[in-house]
Amino acid sequence: MRLRASPSRIRHTPGKMNRLEAEYAAMLDADWKAGRIVRFYFERVTLKLADDTRYTPDFMVVLPDGVIRLDEVKGFLEDDAWVKFKVAADLFPFTFRLAKKRPKKSGGGWVLKDYPELT
């Protein structure tokens, strides 16, 4: 018996932004134009978490004070993505941010949480 991905789940194509990532990139672009960030990159770094386990954050953001923040954009968070995010945040000396999109029925917008303050 072969397991298949849910038909409703869209497979990620490396190097191509999905709708949520493009929306978040527009927000980062506004932050860049306003001088709140220095620069941002899409899928620029991949972190090795263990043998055969890697994590590529959606965005690498350079802040004005030189801090590098790695941002993960999600509409919903699956267990494996959450584990990789937390392991990466524990292993590497970056700031990590989880950007979750609120459903329109809940008012829309973004919920931004930085690690380790995540609950």
Q: Is 7 contained in some domain?
A: no
Q: Looking at the whole model, is its pTM more than 0.85?
A: no
Residue 58: half-sphere exposure toward Cβ, Cα within 13 Å: 22
Q: Are 68 and 39 in contact (CB under 8 A)?
A: no
Q: Is 5 contained in some domain?
A: no
How far apart (Å, rounded) are the C-alpha atoms in residues 68 and 84?
Answer: 18
Q: Is 86 contained in some domain?
A: yes
pLDDT tens figures, 39-54: 999 999 999 999 999 9
Q: Is 99 contained in some domain?
A: yes
Q: Per DSSP, what are the bridge partners of residue 42?
A: 59
- Give the chain's domain count: 1
CATH at 90: 3.90.320.10
* Structural domain range at position 27: 19-115
Pairing relationship of beta strands 59-62 and 53-55 according to DSSP bridges: unpaired
pLDDT > 90 in the chain, percent: 67
Q: Is 10 contained in some domain?
A: no
Q: Is 67 contained in some domain?
A: yes
